[in-house]
Each structure stands twice: as structure tokens, then as C-alpha cells.
Amino acid sequence: MGEPVRVSIVAQDPILEAGTRTSLQCHGDITLALSGERAQVAVMMVDRVAPQVMNAVRAGREADQRQEVVLVATELAAGDAVQAFAAGVRGLLRRTEATAERLAATVVAAAAGDCTLPPDLLDGLLEHGQGVVARRPGAEEAAPGGSVLSERERAVLRLVADGRETEEIARELCYSPRTVTAVVHDVTRRFQLRNRAHAVAFALRAGLL
């Protein structure tokens, strides 16, 4: 096990902030940043993905490019997910779904460079984005029928976005770990992406931004 992920919490409601601190400080992979101490991940608790929230995310990332952001919102829609990930958010959770374990897993995934969001939001974005992705220099044509991603690729990326590891994805989809790795590699190679996180971000943005 490596060093714990150092986390800061941003919330207007002090009771909500205290509850979030209590949830995270019991997790062995996470330590809470002290006042004035740089955090690897900032957890922002908000009501909605409003313009001022996105401005705060962008400002924070411009001030410290090494800090990732996990956004926990009361209300989330597909359009909100697009805006959040475009602003640089790594993890997105609904407050009703943000259990202590799930929030901790999202924070750890963000620190590792992986994107996490509710599977239903990714599914809707992938459906909406089929066939309208802009060509990148050197990228291959879209799959037959206008789909950017095959059903197998979409299934794997949904679970990657949910913070699952390769072995977990393989078990859930009844694939071998080698197949899962090959699917992710093929997507990153075909669209000239850097890593798993970039592949998820690409899927989110395909034809939407």
C-alpha cells in the first residue's frame, strides 16, 4: 500500500463538511489535509452543477494542476456531467449515492488519474454521442453503423468510469482480464488517447463538446 491520498473538503454547510470528514478519515487509504496543506484531491459538496461551481473548479485546477476534484452534487443530469468533466472534474457522485465507501473509492480513483461517475450518466452520454465524434488526425473511421464504440467497448468503459479495476470488470462481464486490458488498449490506440482516464473523458465528450 502506498502513501494515503491527502484530501481537502469544500462545503458551504459546516454540518455536511463535518459528516464528510468523519466518513473519510476512517478510510486507511485517505488522510485529511490540514489547513494550508496541499491536497491531492479536493472533494466539493454542492447542490447543483452551477456555473459558479464550474468556475471554482477551473480556478482551483489552474492554481494547482496536480490537484484533482471530486464533485458530490444533490442534483445531477447528463448535461451536468459533460460540463463537470470538461471543467476538469475527475469524480462525480450524487449525494444520495455517496456512501462512505463509494466516496472513498472515487477519491482514490481520482488520485490515480481515473474518472468516476454514475453509470447511468455515462450510458446516456455514450448513447447521445454515437456517430458524431469529430475526426482527429490519424484516428480511424467510426465503427460500421455510425457507432463510435462497440457494445463491448462501451460496457468496459462504463465500469472503468465507475472506478472498477481490471479484475472486477472481467468478473462482472465474464471476460478474461487480458480481454479487458485489450479492449481498453484498443480504444486508447484507435483514438490516440493517453490512458484509461483519457478514454473515459473522450467517451464523455464525443460529439458533445
Tell me the per-residue pLDDT of 83-108, one tens digit each, with 9 for 90 and over. 787 778 888 899 998 888 999 999 99
Does 45 have pLDDT greater than 90? yes
**What share of the chain in percent tops pLDDT 90?**
13
Does 70 have pLDDT greater than 90? yes
**What share of the chain in percent tops pLDDT 70?**
78
Does 64 have pLDDT greater than 80? no
Nearest to 72 by CA among 100, 50, 51, 103: 103
Distance (Å, rounded) from C-alpha 163 to C-alpha 35?
29
pLDDT the model gives residue 170: 92
Query: CA distances (Å), 14 to each of 10, 73, 93, in order?
Result: 9, 16, 19
Instruction: Give tens-digit pLDDT for 139-167.
Output: 333 433 334 677 888 888 888 877 788 89
Nearest to 120 by CA among 148, 93, 102: 93
Highest mean pLDDT among 36-50, 151-165, 189-203: 36-50
pLDDT the model gives residue 123: 58
- For 95, list phi and psi in degrees, rounded to 5: -60, -35
Residue 27 pLDDT level (bands cut at 50, 70, 90): confident
pLDDT the model gives residue 71: 92
pLDDT the model gives residue 116: 81
pLDDT the model gives residue 124: 53
pLDDT the model gives residue 7: 92
- For 160, list phi and psi in degrees, rounded to 5: -60, -45
Distance (Å, rounded) from C-alpha 14 to C-alpha 20?
10
Region 46-65 average pLDDT = 82
Residues 15-35 as b or e (16 or more Cβ within 10 Å = b):
eeeeebeebbeebebbbbbee
Does 137 have pLDDT greater than 70? no
Does 205 have pLDDT greater than 90? no
Region 175-191 average pLDDT = 85
Does 131 have pLDDT greater than 80? no
Nearest to 106 by CA among 167, 44, 154: 44
